[in-house]
Structures are given as structure tokens and as C-alpha cells.
Amino acid sequence: MSRFDQLINRKNTSSVKWDYSKKLFGVDDVLPMWVADMDFKAPEEVINALHARIDHGIFGYTMPGKSMEEAIIHWVEKRHHWKVDSRWMTYSPGIVTALSLAISAYTDPTDKIVVQSPVYYPFFEMAKKHKRDVLYNKLHLTEQHRFEIDFEDLETKLSKPETTMFILCNPHNPGGRVWSKDELLQIGELCLKHHVLLISDDIHSDLLLFQHEYTPIASLREDIARNTITCIAPSKTFNLAGLQASVLLIPDESLKKKYIEAQQLYGLMTLNTLGTEAMEAAYRHGEAWLDELIVYLEENVTIVKEYLGEHLPQIRVMDPESTYLLWLDVRSFNKTDDELKKLLLHKGQLALEPGSKFGQNGAGFLRMNIACPKETLHQGLIRLVTALKD
């Protein structure tokens, strides 16, 4: 039996996923497979490190130190073949916070920001909250049910004089695409050509499935690196989102200086003590746990595809190259997102993310989190079929 088969009761732990269904969906008794956190315990090495720090008993102001920087450098180089420098590093409680600070630091209210929809919705929500115009480079869904980039449209939007920032998701959420070196090189060169700063959210980069290879866009060339801010974190990889710790890699000194000024403006200069401990322990000791997790997630992907293929073949499952999030095409049911939501919640007692939340061209899709024990996954699949069958 895998360690990931363990059923853990997360109710009454202030879990957004498990304790707030009534507030978020208006119903109590639903199986939550929507928000992107896992129903798995973090690696024992991380838990032990947290216990040791708690036993110490003093939780004063904390700064990430050389030991944590070394752990990050080693992790990125070993897993992703990119040699990073500790001088590039700064920290944020989370990547959404980092995006908000970057928008504040590098853009003006008259600027435009490009995102690729469907995409993780804080990309465009944060831009709008800062009163920036958002330009959508809509991803193309091929006949093979795979997302591709419309580069002609992308250049049109990047070339606008008011466009100053492009936010990339690599690997892509919600589609699970791991962008190729050729695609990334085109993106990097277009951003340089049109003087557009590139923010790359690489939070899912450790969760590579079925032997797919991820490339950090900043690792391609020095000039691209100087125009890129790369965001990474152990939160998705090791299920540590609640500990609030992420890393920004900013090779250009002037860009880093501007970002730090924004941090100081909003009083977000450091991480909490336990987040720092967890990050270092995860990057230093979590590799074996992660390798086992990836195998388990690949098994879960296969289970979903086989089950739906047998019981509800109208649903097309996009083959994920990364992440534990499946993008389900349910357009054949000819239902609006509101109709789908009602069927899922009231007939199937299942909570999934509606595709339109990720952009207009996400309508008719659902995002399903499969980072859960197989028993939970089977229950979720039964509920999905119950909701949409007939």
C-alpha cells in the first residue's frame, strides 16, 4: 500500500478545500476536487523539521539564510539543470502576492499586460485589481486536444506600445502543457524584441508526468534571463501552500532592486519561520517522496481516463504533461457553466472548478484535482458520472 493511499480527515482544520463548501458553494455535503492542494501528508522530513523548530520554542524574526539558498540552488540544478545564483533570490509569501508586487513595481496604470487564456485566474484578476488592461492571447485547442500558442496573435499583442508585461504559466495551469524549448525561445525573443518584461510562474515545474521535460525559460539565454522573473515554490510540489513560502529568481540587478522597493512599500520583506524551515527541508530531503508521488499521480491519470472512457466517453480528458489538475472537455453536453455547476453540486455532490473561471475560452470545461487517494478519486469519478450521465 502506498503512503498516498492513506485517507486523512481534513475537516475542522480550517481547510479551504474541506471546511468552506457551504460558504463557497452553498451546499455542505460535497466532495471537493477543485482547489489546487493535495490530500497527502507532506514528506516526513518536512514534518520532522517543523517539529524540531517548534520544539525549540522561540519564533522570533527570521530571514532565509545561506543553508536555504544552497538547498534551492541544488534542487533547481539537479531537477531542472539550471545553475542559479543566490544573488538572484528574493522571497514572497506566495506567487499570487509576487505577481501583485511585480505588477505594482514594473507597470503603470496606462500599461497593458498579456496573459494566455485559459489560465490560472489570478493572472488577470491581479492585473485588473491594479487597474491594468489585460490582453488575452487565447491558446489554440488542436484536434489532438492539446494547447498550442498562437504566436501571430501573441506578437500582435506584445507589439502594442502600451504592453509592458507578459505573464507566462510554465507548466500551464489548467491544461498541464509543458512548453517546449522552441516555444519558450520564441516567447523570450518576442518579449525582448518588443521590450516586454516576462514573468514566468513555474510553480508546477516539479510535477512532471510521463517523462516530460521542463525548461525554465530564463535558462535558455542570458539576455532572456535578464528580462525574466521566475517564480518557484515548494507549495504545489510538497503540499505546503498553507505555510506561505515562495522564491523569485531575478538575475537583473535593476529589476531586483525595483521588486525589493515594492516589497518594502507593502511591508512584505521576509517569510514566516515555519515556511522557511519547510522550504529548506523539502528541497533538501523531499526528492524520494516526490518521485513516488509522480508515479501515484500518473496512475491516477490513467484511472480517470479509463473510467470515463468506459462510463462517460463524451468527456475528453486533456493528457497532462505536468500538474495534478485535469482539464475536462464537457462541451458535448451543451450545458452552461451554471447548469454544469448545479448538476455537479446537487446531483453529483461534487465540487469542481468551472472552466470559464480561467477565461472566456474555458467555458464548457472543468478542472479536476486528482491529487488524492485512489479511494477518494473513485468516489469523485462516480459522482461525476452521476451528475452528467443521461
Angstrom distance (rounded) from CA 12 to CA 27:
16
Contact (Cβ atoms closer than 8 angstroms) between residue 289 and residue 121: no
In the prediction, which pLDDT does 99 show? 98
Residue by residue, DSSP assigns 339-375 as: HHHHIIIIIS-EE-EEGGGG-GGGTTEEEEE--S-HH
CA angle, 50 then 54 then 58, to 5°: 135
Pairing relationship of beta strands 133-136 and 197-201 according to DSSP bridges: unpaired
Instruction: Report the chain's C-alpha Rg in angstroms.
Output: 21
User: Parallel, antiparallel, or unpaired for β 163-169 and 147-148?
Assistant: unpaired
Q: Sign of the C-alpha dihedral, residues 134, 156, 95, 111?
A: negative
Domains (range + CATH), the chain: 3-43+288-388 (3.90.1150.10), 59-285 (3.40.640.10)
What is the pLDDT, as a whole number, of residue 310? 97
| Model pLDDT for residues 167-183, shown as the tens digit of each residue | 999 999 999 999 999 99
Residue 270 pLDDT: 86
Q: What is the pLDDT of residue 291?
A: 98
Do residues 225 and 205 lie in contact, with contact meaning Cβ atoms separated by under 8 Å? no
pTM value is 0.97
Predicted confidence (pLDDT) per residue in 304-313, tens digit? 999 999 999 9
Specify the pLDDT at position 28.
87
Q: How far apart are CA 364 and CA 339, in angstroms?
A: 10
Q: What per-residue confidence (pLDDT) applies to 290?
A: 98
Q: Tally helices (H) and strands (E) across the chain.
A: 15, 15
Q: How far apart (Å, rounded) are the C-alpha atoms in residues 135 and 112?
A: 7
Per residue, the 3-state secondary structure of 152-221, as one string, reads HHHHHHHCCCCEEEEEEECCCCCCCCCCCHHHHHHHHHHHHHCCCEEEEECCCCCCECCCCCCCCHHHCC
Tell how far CA 261 is from the center of its chain. Answer: 26
Q: Which residues of the chain are modeled with pLDDT < 50? A: none
